[in-house]
């Protein structure tokens, strides 16, 4: 069965400091991974997906199959990055998107 683990429930980082939100997964097939973000009073929205290999709002995430990780990184945190971040894995077999438990990121001014 697929599983997504986000070990940090809360993460506080000073503005301008680097950010790393951890995500590990377990999945027997070839995974497709996503990061979704929920800003205060807004709906959950896609931030980025690993197959796109793009940087969104300064965030990047690299799929590391050896470590089964998909950590989200940003070199310099901004106040507007404060939000709830969810890592998610898509299982092509059962067509389910499984979410991690989320990490609440707070950027300290």
Partner 1 sequence: DTAVSQTPKYLVTQMGNDKSIKCEQNLGHDTMYWYKQDSKKFLKIMFSYNNKELIINETVPNRFSPKSPDKAHLNLHINSLELGDSAVYFCASSHPTSGGADTQYFGPGTRLTVL
Residues that bind partner 1 (CB under 8 A): 32, 34, 42-46, 49, 51, 84, 86, 90, 92, 94-99, 101-102, 104
Give the closest residue to 3 by CA, choosing from 81, 82, 68.
Answer: 68
Residue with smaller CB distance to partner 1, 12 or 45: 45
Task: Answer yes or no: are the C-beta atoms of 23 and 101 closer than 8 Å.
Answer: no
Least Cβ distance, residue 6 to partner 1 (angstroms): 10
Which residues, at least 6 apart from 65, have a Cβ–Cβ distance to it below 8 Å? none
Residue with smaller CB distance to partner 1, 54 or 76: 54
């Amino acid at each position: 069965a697929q599983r997504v683990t986000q070990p940090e429930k809360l993460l506080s980082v000073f503005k301008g400091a680097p950010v790393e939100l951890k995500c590990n997964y377990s999945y027997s097939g070839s995974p497709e991974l996503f990061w979704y973000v929920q800003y205060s009073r807004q709906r959950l929205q896609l931030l980025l997906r690993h197959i796109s290999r793009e940087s969104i709002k300064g965030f990047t995430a690299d799929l590391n199959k050896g470590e089964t990780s998909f950590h989200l990184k940003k070199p310099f945190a901004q106040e507007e990055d404060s939000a709830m971040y969810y890592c998610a894995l898509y299982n092509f077999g059962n067509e389910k998107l499984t979410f991690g438990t989320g990490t609440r990121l707070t950027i300290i001014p």
